[in-house]
Structure 1
Amino acid sequence: MKHDCHYHPGEPAKWHCGACQMHYCSSCMPDADTRKQLALCPHCGQSMRYLGAASEVVPFWNRLSAFFRYPFHLGPLMVIGICTLVPMMLSTNLAGALITLALLLALFKYTYTVIRHTADGHMEPPPLATAFTGGGFSIVILQLVVFFLMGGLVFSAALIGGPLLAFLVLAFVILALPASIMVLAMENEVGPAINPMNLAVLISRIGWPYFLLYGYVILLTLASGAAQEFALNHFEPWLAQPLAGFLNSTFTLILFHMLGYLLFQYQEELGFASDLQDSNGEEDQGPHRDRSKRLDADIDMNLKDGNYDRVLGMLKEALKREPGNAHRLGQLHRLLTARKDVAELYRHHPRLLEWLASRNDADSIRDLLKTLNEAEPGFRLEDPELAVSCALPLYRHGEYKWVLRLLQDFHKRFPNSDHLAPAYLLVAQTLANGLGQWEKATAFLNFIRKKCLDHPLHAQIDTWLEQAARREPLKGPKASFDVVGGMSS
């Protein structure tokens, strides 16, 4: 069953809190441990159930082409090639028969491994070594036992209830055969794989898609038989036999991959959780997860719940730990601006203006200064460096009125500031280049020449004075000085 995230509709849920009855996506739970399937609900703090990829997996009927491509990866091709071609090269003696049997067991072991591998979220085939190393060879014997017991069940039904009961039991056995194979591959036990109630429950939980899959199974079986018959009837025996074996193995892998994918698709209904394992997403960072992502998620959820005061508190605490965190300053600015919280904007205006100036965001600087002036008529910045830093982007974006307001009476307010020369050069550029007031611009340039003898800009004042006399834009050499970094017209 598909569940969307409570806070991000359209995003598949990965976690569910039984206490809150809420679903969360990966963005809401950046600190969750998906490998251990552990996470605490952001609201109540209780452990949550991991849903895996159940809410985002593509239905199997929409990826049929991927099923048919599956056997043609390197691993499956090598397994099929070895198990099909090698027996043909062996002598017809006891050793050859034993090797052929061993390869047949390896092939069947590999196909059953495909079901579990796919159900665990691996859409790429298992490696070649899976077929020939490790345990798991007993799965073939167990499957034979299951077939034998199912045959015995049909035979017993015939003895007890006659042909009609035998036919009904046989029909159920044939219908439940894919379910039995899936159960055996996942549990490696005969009992659950032949238990009629267990199989019926599995089929009912999957629902109608099981019968759709069953139709595909029949089509695959018919297609495999037809392809093998064509090969045997139209090619020489030396080519027909390996080709028929290759086709049989290929269709078997397609079928078993499809069965595993059905388990993966309906994992929630079947009571387990797994996620896509072959994607190139971010690795689980374990104890080294970025805690800032948890804070981002909490801020996002509280904003959507309307808990604005709580978000403000979170941001204040975060900025106490990291006063210069640009990301948090941006969040604080957007929150306070959206809420029109003049008091908090005034309280935090120095750091907010500094952040806006670093981003060259003249529009936001202008709007914030306007808000501050409305709250306190005649408001002025008390930091000379901040005043020049804010005036620069305002000048570049043609906000000349605000440049002049910011730097008004700068020499009276900050007579000993190292920023006096840059400030009045900017005023001169504003008056000349922006407003065409050349006489006033010349007066400010003369002030710099007279009062700022030790500043690096003093050496270039004559160039700007000549440009002002010719009523040319004040460009001149680029000014560079340590106190504000660098500035040009």
Structure 2
Amino acid sequence: MKHDCHYHPGDPAKWQCSECQMHYCSRCMPDADTRQRRALCPTCSKAMRYMGTATEVVPFWNRIGAFFRYPFHTDPLIVIAICTLVPLVAPANLIGILIWLVLALALFKYTYAVINHTAEGHLNPPSVSVAFTGSGFNIVILQLLVFIVMGGLVGVAAMVGGPLLMLLALAFVVLAMPASIMVLAMERSVGAAVNPMNLAVLISRIGTPYFLLYGYLILLTLASGVAQDFAYNHFPFWFSQPLSGFLNSTFTLILFNMLGYLLFQYQEELGFASDIQDDSADVDMHQRDRGARFDADIDMNLKDGNYDRVQGMLKEALKRNRDDPLRIGQLYQLLVARNDATELYQYHPRILGWLADRNDGEGIASVVSLLEEAEPGFKLDEPELAVRSARCLYQRGQYKLALKLLQDFHKRFPESDELAPAYLLVAQTLANGMGQWEKATAFLTFIQKRCVNHPLHEQVPVFLEQAEKKELLKGPKASFAVPD
């Protein structure tokens, strides 16, 4: 059953809290350990159940093309080539027979590894080494035992109930064969693979898609048989034999890949959890970003309407790192949305600085407007911040508000190094923005008289000349000439 995240509808859930009956997606659980399948509920702090990618897996009937491409990846092609071509050059004696048996075992081992590999979320084939190294060769013997036991069950049914019961038993065995192969691949147990109750439960949990898959498998088997028959009837034996072996191995890998993907698709119903692993980068879970957990908590609390709690969280974060731009921006957005002028006044130096860094004149204008409501006659106490904020306002055409921030600057900050830049900005605002050239000239003259030691003093004559001609105050033009 598909579950969506409680906080992000449309995003598939990967974690479920049985205590809260809540489902969470990866965005809500950035600190979860998917490798160890461990996570604590952000609401009640209880351990949660990992659901894997069951809710976002593409149905197998939409991946038919991918199944047919599966054997043509490099690793399975090498396995098929070795198991098909090597017997052709092997000697026609006991050694040749042994080589053929070993390669047949390797091929069958690889096909069963495909089921496990795919069920674990690996959409690319296992490596070549899986076929020829390590344990697992006994899977062929186990499969033979399964066939023998199932044949015996059909025989017993014939002896006990006659032809009718035999036909029913045979029909169940044929229908349950894919389920038996899946169980054997996952559990490596003959008993589990032939237990009728076990197989019936697996089929019932998968439901209708199992029978759809069964139809595909029948078509694959028929296609494989027709292709091999065509090869034997239309090509010479030296070519048709390896071609037939290649086709048989290819169709077998397609079949087993489909069985593994069915397990992966219905992992939740079958009681296990896997993730798509081939395209995901390795992440060191010991180096998790705590900030991501904090952001997820903020997101969930906002969607739950816990605005006071979010505000408290952000204020605590700014106590630990007062200049964190991310938290300042989040607090600004929350306070403006809540029209909280009191808290805005408390944090206005950092918020205005953050807005100035982003050249957000509109944001500065809205904050100043709210601050004036909280404190009529509000003025900034930091000269540098006042100039930066006024410059952003000037660039956004907020001329009157820019002048207001710099009003009586020489009285409020008489010794500030920002006096010359402040009044030059006032002059540019008056001249360029409002066309008041005489007033602009007065402020430029003030800079010329009072700020003799400031670097801007040398440029004032150029500005005065521009003001006299009623030209835009832009200062001296850049020159790239090299002095003699």
CA distance in 1, matches of 2:477, 2:370: 34
Task: Give the secondary-structure state (helix, strand or coil) at the position aligned to 1:163.
Answer: helix
CA distance in 1, matches of 2:45, 2:476: 62
Q: Which residue of 1 aligns with 2:174?
A: 174
CA distance in 2, matches of 1:42, 1:324: 27
CA distance in 2, matches of 1:88, 1:384: 88
Q: Which residue of 1 aligns with 2:442?
A: 443
Deviations 1:24-67 (A, max 9, x none): 00000000000000000000000000000101000000110000
CA distance in 1, matches of 2:413, 2:279: 59
Q: Which residue of 2 aligns with 1:386?
A: 385
Q: Which residue of 1 aligns with 2:347?
A: 348
Letter in 1 for 2:36: K
TM-score by length of 1: 0.97
Aligned 1:392-403 pairs, distance under 5 A: 392-403=391-402
Instruction: Please tell me whether the aligned partners of residues 365 and 401 of structure 2 are also in contact (alpha carbons under 8 angstroms).
Output: yes
Q: Which residue of 1 aligns with 2:198?
A: 198
* CA apart distance, 1:104: 0.4
How high is the sequence identity, in percent, across the aligned residues? Answer: 71
Q: Does 1:23 align with 2:36?
A: no
Unaligned runs of 5+ in 2: 479-484
* CA apart distance, 1:133: 0.3
Instruction: Please tell me whether the aligned partners of residues 40 and 46 of structure 2 are also in contact (alpha carbons under 8 angstroms).
Output: yes
Unaligned runs of 5+ in 1: 480-489
CA distance in 2, matches of 1:190, 1:423: 86
Q: Which residue of 2 aligns with 1:366?
A: 365
Q: Which residue of 2 aligns with 1:306?
A: 305
Deviations 1:163-194 (A, max 9, x none): 10000000000000000000000011100000
Aligned 1:38-117 pairs, distance under 5 A: 38-117=38-117
Deviations 1:277-317 (A, max 9, x none): 1013x533312111000000000000000000000011011
CA distance in 2, matches of 1:307, 1:94: 78
Q: Which residue of 2 aligns with 1:265?
A: 265
CA distance in 2, matches of 1:61, 1:96: 41
Instruction: Please tell me whether the aligned partners of residues 444 and 463 of structure 2 are also in contact (alpha carbons under 8 angstroms).
Output: yes
Letter in 1 for 2:3: H
Letter in 2 for 1:79: V
Task: Give the secondary-structure state (helix, strand or coil) at the position aligned to 2:23.
Answer: strand
CA distance in 2, matches of 1:144, 1:49: 37
Task: Give the secondary-structure state (helix, strand or coil) at the position aligned to 2:430.
Answer: helix
Letter in 2 for 1:304: K
Letter in 2 for 1:196: P
CA distance in 2, matches of 1:397, 1:159: 94
Aligned 1:190-269 pairs, distance under 5 A: 190-269=190-269
Instruction: Please tell me whether the aligned partners of residues 341 and 373 of structure 2 are also in contact (alpha carbons under 8 angstroms).
Output: no
CA distance in 2, matches of 1:120, 1:375: 60
Q: Which residue of 2 aligns with 1:484?
A: none
Task: Give the secondary-structure state (helix, strand or coil) at the position aligned to 2:39.
Answer: coil
CA distance in 2, matches of 1:478, 1:179: 82
Alignment coverage as a number of residue pairs: 478
CA distance in 1, matches of 2:172, 2:363: 71
Aligned 1:420-459 pairs, distance under 5 A: 420-459=419-458
Letter in 2 for 1:446: T
Residue 143 to residue 478, structure 1, CA distance change in 2 (3 Å): farther
CA distance in 1, matches of 2:428, 2:215: 80
Task: Give the secondary-structure state (helix, strand or coil) at the position aligned to 2:16.
Answer: strand
Q: Which residue of 1 aligns with 2:279?
A: 279
CA distance in 2, matches of 1:228, 1:212: 25
Task: Give the secondary-structure state (helix, strand or coil) at the position aligned to 1:55.
Answer: coil
* CA apart distance, 1:323: 1.0
Deviations 1:384-442 (A, max 9, x none): 11100101111111110011100001001111111000000000000111111111001
CA distance in 2, matches of 1:11, 1:478: 56
Q: Which residue of 1 aligns with 2:147?
A: 147
CA distance in 2, matches of 1:428, 1:465: 10
CA distance in 2, matches of 1:249, 1:288: 44
RMSD (CA atoms)? 0.9
Q: Does 1:407 align with 2:373?
A: no
CA distance in 1, matches of 2:297, 2:282: 21
CA distance in 2, matches of 1:420, 1:169: 97
Residue 196 to residue 478, structure 1, CA distance change in 2 (3 Å): farther
Letter in 1 for 2:459: Q
CA distance in 1, matches of 2:156, 2:84: 37
Letter in 2 for 1:367: S
Q: Does 1:417 align with 2:411?
A: no
Instruction: Please tell me whether the aligned partners of residues 35 and 284 of structure 1 are also in contact (alpha carbons under 8 angstroms).
Output: no
* CA apart distance, 1:378: 1.1
* CA apart distance, 1:91: 1.4
CA distance in 2, matches of 1:78, 1:156: 43
CA distance in 2, matches of 1:477, 1:214: 82
Q: Which residue of 1 aligns with 2:189?
A: 189
Q: Identify the range of structure 1 (318-327 vs 177-186) with the bigger mean alpha-carbon deviation.
A: 318-327
Q: Identify the range of structure 1 (343-352 vs 263-272) with the bigger mean alpha-carbon deviation.
A: 343-352
Q: Which residue of 2 aligns with 1:13?
A: 13
Q: Which residue of 2 aligns with 1:130?
A: 130
CA distance in 1, matches of 2:219, 2:403: 81
Letter in 2 for 1:271: G
CA distance in 1, matches of 2:224, 2:291: 55
* CA apart distance, 1:88: 1.0
Letter in 1 for 2:418: H
Q: Which residue of 1 aligns with 2:329?
A: 330
TM-score by length of 2: 0.98
